[in-house]
Amino acid sequence: MSLVVEAMVKTLTEHVFTALMNQAEFALDFSGQFEQLKTGLDLTKALLADTESLNHKNNIVKAALFELREVIYKADDVLTDCLVRDEYRKDGSCSGSLFHDPFFLHRTGKKLKDINLRMKEIEQTLGKFLRAPDNIHREDAYQVRVMVSQDWNPTEIIGLDSDVEKIKGWLFDTSKVLSHVGIVGMGGLGKTTIAQEIFHDLEVIMRSILEGLGENASGAGVTQILSRIQQVLKDKSCLIVMDDVWNQTDVDWWTNLCSVIPKQSSCIILTTRNEEAVIGMGVESSRIHRPKTLNDEESWRLFSKFAFPTSKGLCPEDRLEKLGKELLKKCGGLPLAIKTIGSLLASKVDSPSQWRRVLESFHALTTEGKTSSVMASLRLSYDELPPGLKQCLLCFSIYPEDYEIRADQLIHWWIGEGLVQSKGSRTAVEVGYEYLAELISRCLVEIVKQRGFDGRVYKCKIHDMVRELIIMITEEEELCCFDKQGRQKLTANTRWLCFIDEMEEKSLKRSSKLRALLMMSSRRFDFERNSLRSLRMLDLSNCNVDEHYVKDLFSWISSLKRLASLNLSGIQALKEVPSSIHKLLNL
């Protein structure tokens, strides 16, 4: 939760600072309270920078972080109300509005005092632990996630032969001097396996070279072989494999390393989940290889190797094959997921009923940690994201499985939620597309459709396993709630919701904390004015609304003063936008 709270604190601090610098009217009305709020946010941000202590947070710190998040949401509501009220003043349309209220100043001042008081209490609680990590009870700490690569085993290489041959072709291309090759893809796709296959294959070649030059290679390890070859083949060629590169390496160090590598026909192979990292280290776009997921036949072969080890990869009965292939559809061709699920089922080959239970509760398995290697691998990619991008990625959790998401729809939600702001000369929309491109380059989001001349993304989606990961995290953060089948459930604390026909309308009306609502229902709703007042994003692009309901619908929408993003593209009965929409000055 600390990372999401950190992003929220940063965003709110920027908004308050901007208001104070611009001397907004509301900031003058409550100058002392907003100054105090900014000071409190700055102190909290400093405490949250104590990442070492946060990695071992106990239950008291967790509770304080949860309380801090609730206070930040309340502060954001107050700030939004003040901003909208200022817009009404400028527009001259304050009369008759929700904010034409003689008690507004008194009520808002009281809210700000309460927020600042609660902020101070939270700071005092956090300060006891984040400044004194030795006092933290280690038994309450989260476990540190560590990924350890499996030992290389050539019998496990399935579906990667063409990848290996393609890169070998690049390695032995004599037209290149010092060649850089990048292998880019999401966690668990097989990048390391490809690099290991090439490296171990070339180890055999290096031994042959050494022996052919009259040197004895018996008993020598890779390091000794390389040392001897370096002496024998000065200024000729070599191969370096750097696995799992996260960020662009220090420029000076990287430049010095490349300067001493023999240039003639030498090659450096880099594997990464971040395409920008290898580009920054000198890899040409034409030399970036992106492994594909396994096809159905390859997936089944890999699954069988781990699920049926006692029968040497042969499925003992048809029922297991049918269930296994159904389960593989959930893995989406991701080798790491297939291996993990296959290993899990290996001890259950005598019980098809247990296989069926695994299939039916696949979502529960991931959230309960029974496929921890898959989640740990993908979690690494998530943990490496900046805090703001983490929240942007979590937004994907509410979309149905395999749903193709319109990029503009998603980005306008990010903007409405305050996750994306303009930067310098770049608009918020432009920054939003940059954020999306970053998530794509880190292999957490997949492109479905993009524009030809500049590559701008029109539609995107996420891999099923990435969805399982972010569902798990949004539940940890208490932003959303899901059932064992991965379907969203509506609770009183839900902040983001994709509403479908199976959900109860009464529960929706009581969701006062809801900030984002994506309607995917054909039902008619009778919302009362001023219900769901905290909404920042309302998307009706997938909602059928008849012409008789349009007037009532807009009567409700026009009361959503905090609304910052509205999508009406699905309302085919809408002839023109009612004039009442001009009341929404936060859009």
Q: Which two tokens stand for residue 548?
A: 């008789």
Q: What is the pLDDT of residues 114-148, one digit of tens each?
A: 888 888 888 888 777 765 333 333 333 322 233 33
At residue 210, the pLDDT reads: 63
Nearest to 190 by CA among 76, 298, 54, 305: 298
At residue 96, the pLDDT reads: 45
Nearest to 473 by CA among 542, 390, 586, 357: 390
Q: How far apart are CA 582 and CA 503, in angstroms?
A: 31
At residue 408, the pLDDT reads: 92
User: Which residue intervals of 22-135 are DSSP H helices?
Assistant: 25-29, 31-48, 51-54, 59-91, 104-130
Nearest to 283 by CA among 309, 254, 319: 254
What three-state secondary structure class fits 271?
strand
Do the bridges between strand 446-450 and strand 457-461 make them parallel or antiparallel, or are there none, so unpaired? antiparallel
Q: Which residues contact 213 (CB under 8 A, 6 or more apart)?
A: 232
Query: How is 475-493 classified by DSSP, letter by letter?
Result: HHTTS-EE-TTS-EE--TT
- Looking at domain 154-289, does it have CATH number 3.40.50? yes
Q: How far apart are CA 4 and CA 20, in angstroms?
A: 25
Q: At what angle do helices 31-48 and 2-21 cross, to 10 degrees?
A: 150
End-to-end CA distance of the chain: give it in Å, rounded: 29
Sorted by where each begins, the domain ranges of the chain are 2-140, 154-289, 296-360, 368-480, 490-587
Domain at 368-480, CATH class: mainly alpha
402 near 464, Cβ under 8 Å? yes
Equal fold, 154-289 vs 368-480: no
CA distances from 542 to 2, 194, 406 (A): 34, 42, 12
Q: How far apart are CA 104 and CA 435, in angstroms?
A: 37
65 near 1, Cβ under 8 Å? yes
Do the bridges between strand 488-489 and strand 481-482 make them parallel or antiparallel, or are there none, so unpaired? antiparallel
Q: What is the pLDDT of residues 207-244, one digit of tens each?
A: 655 665 567 766 666 567 656 656 665 666 677 777 77
207 near 217, Cβ under 8 Å? yes
CA distances from 198 to 76, 204, 304 (A): 53, 10, 25
Q: pTM for this one?
A: 0.67
Nearest to 246 by CA among 267, 268, 271: 271
Match 């749903």 to its residue by tokens.
403
Q: How far apart are CA 4 and CA 394, in angstroms?
A: 10
At residue 206, the pLDDT reads: 57
What three-state secondary structure class fits 208?
helix
pLDDT along the chain (587 residues), means of 10: 62 64 56 73 68 61 80 82 75 52 74 84 78 38 32 58 81 66 76 76 56 65 63 67 68 59 76 82 87 90 89 88 87 81 82 85 64 62 80 92 90 88 89 90 83 86 86 86 83 86 73 85 69 85 73 81 84 75 78
What phi, psi does 239 have (nearest 5°)?
Answer: -125, 130
Q: Which two tokens stand for residue 172?
A: 């032995």
